[in-house]
Structure 1
Amino acid sequence: MKITGFTGWLVEAEPGPKFIWRDGLPGSHGDIPRGSRPHNAIVRMETDAGLFGAIEVNRGEAVLDLVRRRYHEFIGENPLLTERLWRLIWEIDRVEEIHMRSLGMLDILAWDVKSQHARMPIYQMLGGDDRVVPAYASTVTWPTMDEYERYIKMSRDVGFKAFKLHAWGGPVKRDIELCKNLRKWVGPDADLMFDGSAGWDYVNALEFGKAIQDLGFLWYEEPMREFHLGAYTKLCEKLDIPILAAETSDGVHGNMATWIEARALDMTRVSSFYKGGFTGSMKVAHLSESHGMRAQVHGMGLENAQICAAISNNDYYEQLVMNEEQIKGLDKLGPLSIVDGNLTVSDEPGLGYHFDFKKLDETAIGKIEVRERINPPATLVPWH
């Protein structure tokens, strides 16, 4: 089988509900100019077997620019050789410095084709552990304590048994109070997590960690920016609560090895969009397992659902909870429905995106096509 081309469409997308993160971070609409809508890219990889992979991603203009300039290198390659394709895109990253969210796109497209060709779901091809994955309610940042109580109890009532806070990130004592209230609201048996969204320095991160570790939290996530590993090493040494980190660090498994060697975390992060697609995520998951560590899957979506079902050292699928309408509609999301606190990952082959390509041709803002390898490999001519 060979890759014969790529087609990309630039489309206007629904902006989704408005919400905010911690103090100092732009909210969900922070990257959308006023009066406009976000631009996504839909990318299709075609093959000579009639199979294609397709994905929808944000940062549409940048994604299509990457496909236009770089993806001609993969025309003629075999999409079933996912390890080879991952290595080739890793080489291009050396000179391109591909955005983390785009590094794994080719890999995901190839696994989509590979799964359809094998007539097996992706999670089984990646190894396969359990298609029924418990989910945790991951909050946005609400303005008041009363709103936290209302929406967390609502999430509990629809079946969630695990909860993660994205809190204010301002004065430490206010977030400590919220954590204590969370334990009261959901009872002694629920798993609790806290995500600092990299808002504190070492002093605040240490103060907060000491205050919540006796509340029985499963993990304490990314309290500081992920640059100085020494600060994270000190934090791990001082606290009993497990530190979850390296979510946004570049370098996939190579960088994660450095974090583990530095003893700068207790749990690792994997995701399709920050860790190089399926192949990169599995490298991190297996590296973590070999060091006796859990590799917690970060983020929602069809891709991350497959990773959750594929590996045994992940605890939960992450599900954002935003407002009443959204929380009460989580059981109506098709293959990503949360029912009684669980996600049941699809057993269908392929990734699961379904697009009307004819309609895209009519409605897209822009379109690109890549059909020819611009710089074919040189032919070795023997000496005579």
Structure 2
Amino acid sequence: MRITGIGVEVVSEPKRHAVRDALQLLDRNGRTRLVIETDEGVTGVSDTYFGRLASSPAVLGQILTEQLGPAIVGEDPALIRQIRQKLRALTDYQGTAGLSTYGISAIDLALWDLLGKSLDAPVWKLLGAQRTAIPAYAMVGWLELDVAGLEQVSARAMEQGFRGVKMKVGGGPLTEDVTRIKAVRAVIGPDAPLMVDANQAFDFHEALRRGRVYEELDCRWFEEPLPADDTEGHIRLADKLDLPIATGENRYGQAAFRDLVAGGGVGVIQPDLRRAGGLTDCLEIGLMAAGFGIPYASHGGGAHIHVLAALPNTIYVESGLLPSDGRVELVDGCYPLPPGPGLSSWDG
């Protein structure tokens, strides 16, 4: 089987309900859909999401159409790591991190989808799954919500069967965070995991100050307390807090995780499929973390569930509220694995 071409579809439209974290407003639904075609008629598909900037999906589409796509024509789609290396070398001069990695990730995911379809098997089976369902929590506590809205959506998450919830912090003073955390805790109960996410909003001293308070409030982890590239800061912070530091969604490629993991700067590792390099890099990052005894919790869900099924150190899949059409239901607080071939997932 050989790759014969690619197709790209771009969507960019306003989000019906914009959400806010400590640094940004996510007000768009942007997507770049990639289809990889072969001479045997089997295709692989990936879908890359953008929450900001109307032009980003089209820019990625151009990178795929004009740079990365032509470079994979004629290749054997089963040689996924070989293709990854070729694309990294191709983009090295312009800088592989950033949108080039988004493109490599899109191709990587579409290749895994294609491989699964060609073998009529879900990708989690190809990876050697360790479990048949993934514990799930709901990321529902956005900062545009007032306390009443926060309580309502947290209650809804628990009604849907999620094991816990995550909420944003850092949008205002610490007293505001405390009020909001206590409100959510009162709704979800004393035993459900409650995670807090600062989205890189703090410097070291403020992260330490707030982290000590989040610790006293029995939060499960403190996510992205510092700028993503501050490896030394994460190591220092982790040394001073008992509260686990969760981070990784804004790091590009497996190499960006090595010093963070080896230095003890992360207590829960969280790669993002788009930025890490796709399913292949996320799997490798997860196995590296497992060697250090560090648990893995995805940033986002969807195709990531196939990686989570295979890793020995998986603890959670991240999700929004479940769709109202009932196409997926949690079982004992867990997402069941999708049965379809390739990268099919319950949430599309």
TM normalised by structure 1 equals: 0.81
Mapping of 1:327-342 within 5 angstroms? 330=323, 332=325, 334=327, 337-338=329-330, 341-342=333-334
Mapping of 1:75-94 within 5 angstroms? 75-94=73-92
Q: CA separation of 1:9/1:226 partners in 2, compared to 1, >3 Å: closer, same or farther?
A: closer
Mapped contact 2:117–2:342 kept (Cα < 8 A):
yes
- Residues in 2 aligned to 1:300 and 1:203: alpha-carbon distance in whole angstroms: 32
Which residue of 351, 357, 370 corresponds with 2:343? 351
Which residue of 163, 166, 170 corresponds with 1:164? 166
Deviations 1:177-234 (A, max 9, x none): 3223322221222112111111111122111111121333221110111122222122
Look up the SS of the partner of 2:47 in the other structure. strand
1:258 aligns with 2:259: yes
- Residues in 1 aligned to 2:13 and 2:307: alpha-carbon distance in whole angstroms: 26
Q: CA separation of 1:143/1:50 partners in 2, compared to 1, >3 Å: closer, same or farther?
A: closer
Q: CA separation of 1:89/1:127 partners in 2, compared to 1, >3 Å: closer, same or farther?
A: farther
- Residues in 2 aligned to 1:134 and 1:339: alpha-carbon distance in whole angstroms: 9
Residue 52 of structure 1: aligned partner: 43
Which residues of structure 1 form unaligned runs of 5+? 30-37, 322-328, 354-384
Q: CA separation of 1:39/1:166 partners in 2, compared to 1, >3 Å: closer, same or farther?
A: closer
1:69 aligns with 2:44: no
- Residues in 1 aligned to 2:48 and 2:249: alpha-carbon distance in whole angstroms: 19
- Residues in 2 aligned to 1:215 and 1:320: alpha-carbon distance in whole angstroms: 23
Look up the SS of the partner of 2:219 in the other structure. coil
Q: CA separation of 1:17/1:342 partners in 2, compared to 1, >3 Å: closer, same or farther?
A: farther
Matching residue's letter, 1:8: V
Deviations 1:56-110 (A, max 9, x none): 3343211221122222111111001112112222222312334143331111111
Give the superposition deviation at 1:338: 4.5
Give the superposition deviation at 1:176: 2.3
Residue 288 of structure 2: aligned partner: 287
Give the superposition deviation at 1:134: 2.1
1:270 aligns with 2:309: no
**What RMSD in Å do the two structures reach over aligned CA positions?**
2.1
Residue 52 of structure 2: aligned partner: none
Q: CA separation of 1:351/1:41 partners in 2, compared to 1, >3 Å: closer, same or farther?
A: same
Look up the SS of the partner of 2:21 in the other structure. coil
Matching residue's letter, 2:219: F
Residue 22 of structure 1: aligned partner: 21
Which residues of structure 2 form unaligned runs of 5+? 50-55
Q: CA separation of 1:90/1:127 partners in 2, compared to 1, >3 Å: closer, same or farther?
A: farther
Look up the SS of the partner of 1:45 in the other structure. strand
Look up the SS of the partner of 1:80 in the other structure. coil
Deviations 1:148-186 (A, max 9, x none): 112111221222221111135221221123223322221
Mapped contact 1:19–1:141 kept (Cα < 8 A):
no
Q: CA separation of 1:53/1:305 partners in 2, compared to 1, >3 Å: closer, same or farther?
A: same
Which residue of 29, 32, 40 corresponds with 1:41? 32
- Residues in 2 aligned to 1:25 and 1:105: alpha-carbon distance in whole angstroms: 24
Q: CA separation of 1:120/1:73 partners in 2, compared to 1, >3 Å: closer, same or farther?
A: same
- Residues in 2 aligned to 1:337 and 1:273: alpha-carbon distance in whole angstroms: 26
- Residues in 2 aligned to 1:249 and 1:9: alpha-carbon distance in whole angstroms: 26
Report how many residues are paired: 334
Residue 213 of structure 1: aligned partner: 215
Residue 149 of structure 1: aligned partner: 151
- Residues in 2 aligned to 1:244 and 1:333: alpha-carbon distance in whole angstroms: 31
Which residue of 179, 182, 185 corresponds with 1:183? 185
Mapping of 1:217-256 within 5 angstroms? 217-250=219-252, 252-256=253-257
The sequence identity of aligned pairs, in percent, is 23
- Residues in 2 aligned to 1:309 and 1:156: alpha-carbon distance in whole angstroms: 23
Look up the SS of the partner of 2:320 in the other structure. strand
Q: CA separation of 1:133/1:39 partners in 2, compared to 1, >3 Å: closer, same or farther?
A: closer
Residue 35 of structure 1: aligned partner: none
Look up the SS of the partner of 2:305 in the other structure. helix
